[in-house]
Amino acid sequence: MSALELYDLTAHEVHDKLASGETSSKEVTESVLRRIEKVEPSIQSYMLVTADRALEQAEQADARRRAGECIGPLDGVPIALKDLLCTRGLPTTCSSKILENFVPPYDATVVERVSSAGCVALGKTNLDEFAMGSSTENSAFQVTRNPWGLDRVPGGSSGGSGAAVAAGECLVALGSDTGGSIRQPASFCGIVGMKPTYGRVSRYGLVAFASSLDQIGPMTKDVRDCALLLQVISGHDSMDSTSADIDVPDFTAALERDVKGRRAGVVKELMGEGIDADVREAVEQAIGTLEDLGVTCEEVSLPHCRYSLATYYLIAPAEASSNLARYDGVRYGHRTAERVEDIVDMFSKTRGEGFGPEVRLRIMLGTYALSAGYYDAYYVKALKVRTLIKRDCEKAFEHCDVLISPTSPTVAFEVGERADDPLQMKMADLCTMFGNLAGLPGISVPCGFSDGLPVGLQIVGKAFDEETVLRVAYAYEQAAGYHRERPVVGG
Ligand code: GLN
């Protein structure tokens, strides 16, 4: 095997090389920028690459280090940001025409935090428009390809971030997850992705999709990097009233703790019908590995889990229809250039031109579910089922420390394959949505391959117990070793 290039390394490996003086942040950043130049024409992860700014930030990180003022483990590490995180002075499009020219006057809290930790921001990554989708095909601008097979989708909606990490176009990335949008692309791209507990990470400056479900989280090459990045972005923020004012533990310290005697519940409903045989097999093997490590694995049932897709597709569009009302051609972004009769005509033409078909569909579904005649029958009912799903999880956690399932029922599908099959498209999040509805932390770690495409193992924990999730994920990853595999892009 040829020696790994700098862009192939993890953030903690780069940190060690920076600390020993073996390399500089500038060299690492240059390596990643060259990699972007080489593979970006075929992958198309990025909406925007800010090379000059990145090199400047890298030089600053190197100067800090020379002066003995290194800020921490991510100082000088290149990061990519999903393009629905507000960045001061830089376009934040949400991969939507309606925000094509939107330049926020402020940074999202997570953007500020990674910058204060010394990270080098490389640019903004592609997504399904407003994070609505599972393949990144709903971007208004470009289709991102999966580094493991260019005819395949990278998953979504954080497909740009997922593909960028997998292809070595950044060392770590941030994504957001409303129904699976970090974990599912992580699974498709063979990387680690974590949705923290609802409230763990501030969403100030995250363009809202469904506010009771959205969380920001890390997408990385291994679990240690995930813990390091989660450490930086976690914690209370007075600018987000839903961020929890509770202590943030030392996540990397949690990695080293023994997993012997931990109890894992294998979710019965997510191991049967609808799950590809190859995926199930990989997860079963992972369960065997966990058992070898001393984790007790037993089947558990989440009886209402099978309603999670239906519940999600009432609650998420309902919230989206309200959150997206602000794009009216007055306060933000695009306004129609057509002749208009009155203000209602202006709204309608602006929104008709600015939003893509999936977003328009969600707004209509959500408005319908919230309308006077249907509110109780649909929206309120969905809230009740959400409570039942939450209770199922609480009950399961009486007997176990983590829940285990595949991250997605299949490996990455072909570009275009599900474009005309909305149900199949939505099934990609079958295993992840209960975690959002219950507000729980969940991670996806690589657990094998099917026909050369990565499979992901999902580990979900109790609210605010990211430590146990990371600890089990780390023990598994170290024993299994799939995180060391890298795709040969275009090969
Ligand atoms: N695929 C789901 C959707 O389309 C979830 C997206 C997400 O988590 N942002 O809504």
Ligand 1 atom closest to residue 209's alpha carbon, by position in its atom list: 9
137 Cα to the center of ligand 1, angstroms: 12
Rounded to 5 degrees, what are φ and ψ at 275?
Answer: -100, 125
Q: Could you identify the atom of ligand 1 that is nearest to the CA of residue 158? A: 9
Instruction: Judge contact between 202 and 449, C-beta under 8 A.
Output: no
Confidence band, pLDDT 50/70/90 cuts, at residue 171: very high
- Distance (angstroms) between ligand 1 centre and the Cα of 93 equals 17
Q: Measure the CA–CA gap between 468 and 33, rounded to whole angstroms.
A: 35
Task: Quote the pLDDT of residue 463.
Answer: 98
**Enzyme catalytic residues:** 82, 157, 181
Q: What does the pLDDT read at residue 1?
A: 41
431 lines ligand 1 (CB under 6 A): no
Q: Which of 94, 96, 134, 363 to mutate to test the pocket of ligand 1 (most atoms within 8 A of CB)?
A: 134
Question: What is the best residue among 129, 135, 138, 181 to mutate for testing ligand 1's pocket, by most ligand atoms within 8 Å of CB?
Answer: 181
Residue 128 CA, ligand 1 centroid: distance in Å: 9
Phi and psi for 155 in degrees, rounded to 5? 85, 180
Atom of ligand 1 nearest to the CA of 134: 1
Point out the least confidently predicted range of 54-63, 200-209, 287-296, 326-335. Answer: 326-335
Percent of the chain with pLDDT over 70: 99
Least confident of 34-48, 73-87, 145-159, 326-340: 326-340
The protein residue with its alpha carbon nearest to ligand 1, atom 10, reads 132
Residue 332, pLDDT score: 81
pLDDT over 80 (residue 112): yes
- Residue 2's pLDDT is 53
List the structure tokens of 194: 């974590």
Question: Which structural domains are found in the chain, ordered by start?
Answer: 3-247+256-265+283-300+398-484 (3.90.1300.10)
Q: Could you report the per-residue pLDDT of 224-281, keeping only the tens digit for each? A: 999 999 999 999 999 999 999 999 999 999 999 999 999 999 999 999 999 999 999 9
Q: What is the pLDDT of residues 259-268, one digit of tens each?
A: 999 999 999 9
- Ligand 1 pocket, residue 134 CB under 6 Å: yes
Range among 175-179, 369-373, 419-423 with highest mean pLDDT value: 175-179
Atom of ligand 1 nearest to the CA of 425: 1
- For the Cβ of 180 lying below 6 angstroms from any atom of ligand 1, the answer is yes
Q: How far apart are CA 206 and CA 446, in angstroms?
A: 27
pLDDT digits (tens, 9 = 90+) for 66-98: 999 999 999 999 999 999 999 999 999 999 999
Contact 131 CB / ligand 1 (< 6 Å) = yes
Contacts of 130 (CB under 8 A, 6+ apart): 84, 94, 95, 96, 207, 209, 320, 324, 359
Ligand 1 midpoint to CA 236 (Å): 25
pLDDT at 386: 98
Residue 214 CB–ligand 1 contact under 6 Å: no
Rounded to the nearest integer, the mean pLDDT of the chain is: 97
Question: What pLDDT band is residue 120 in, cutting at 50, 70 and 90?
Answer: very high
Find the helix packing angle between 25-43 and 11-19, rounded to 10°: 150
Pocket of ligand 1 contains residue 137 by CB under 6 Å: no
Query: Residue 295 Cα, ligand 1 centroid: separation in angstroms?
Result: 31
Return the amino acid letter for 151.
D
Report how far ligand 1's centroid is from the alpha carbon of 447 (Å). Answer: 23
Q: How confident is the model at residue 7 (pLDDT cuts 50, 70, 90)?
A: very high
C-beta 179 within 6 A of ligand 1:
yes
Q: Is 186 in the pocket of ligand 1 (CB under 6 A)?
A: no
pLDDT over 90 at 491, yes or no: no
* Cα 187 to ligand 1 centre (Å): 14
* d(CA 72, ligand 1 centre) in Å: 33
Tokens matching residue 473: 């994920």
- The mean pLDDT value for 28-48 works out to 98
Percent of the chain at pLDDT > 90 equals 98
Write out the two tokens for 11.
């953030």
Q: Which atom of ligand 1 is nearest to the CA of 176?
A: 9
Integer-rounded Cα radius of gyration of the chain: 21
d(C-alpha 169, C-alpha 29), whole Å: 10
| φ, ψ at 179 (rounded to 5°) | -140, 0
- How far, in Å, is the centroid of ligand 1 from the Cα of 184? 9
CA neighbor of 191 nearest in space, from 450, 490, 487: 487
Q: Which is the closest atom of ligand 1 to the Cα of 312? A: 10
Task: Kindly report, residue by residue over 279-324, the tens digit of the pLDDT.
Answer: 999 999 999 999 999 999 999 999 999 999 999 999 999 999 999 9
Atom of ligand 1 at shortest distance to CA of 132? 4
Q: Is residue 316 in contact with ligand 1, taking CB distance under 6 Å?
A: yes
159 CA distance to ligand 1 centroid (A)? 11
- pTM for the predicted model, two decimal places: 0.98
CB of 83 sitting under 6 A from ligand 1: no
Task: Decide whether any atom of ligand 1 lies within 6 Å of the 208 Cβ.
Answer: no
Minimal-distance CA residue to ligand 1 atom 4: 133
Please identify, by atom number, the ligand 1 atom nearest to the C-alpha of residue 436: 8
Integer angstrom CA distances of residue 108 from 68, 113, 179, 246: 29, 9, 21, 20
Q: Which residue has the tokens 């969403």?
A: 203
Of 32, 27, 28, 119, the residue nearest 71 (C-alpha)? 119
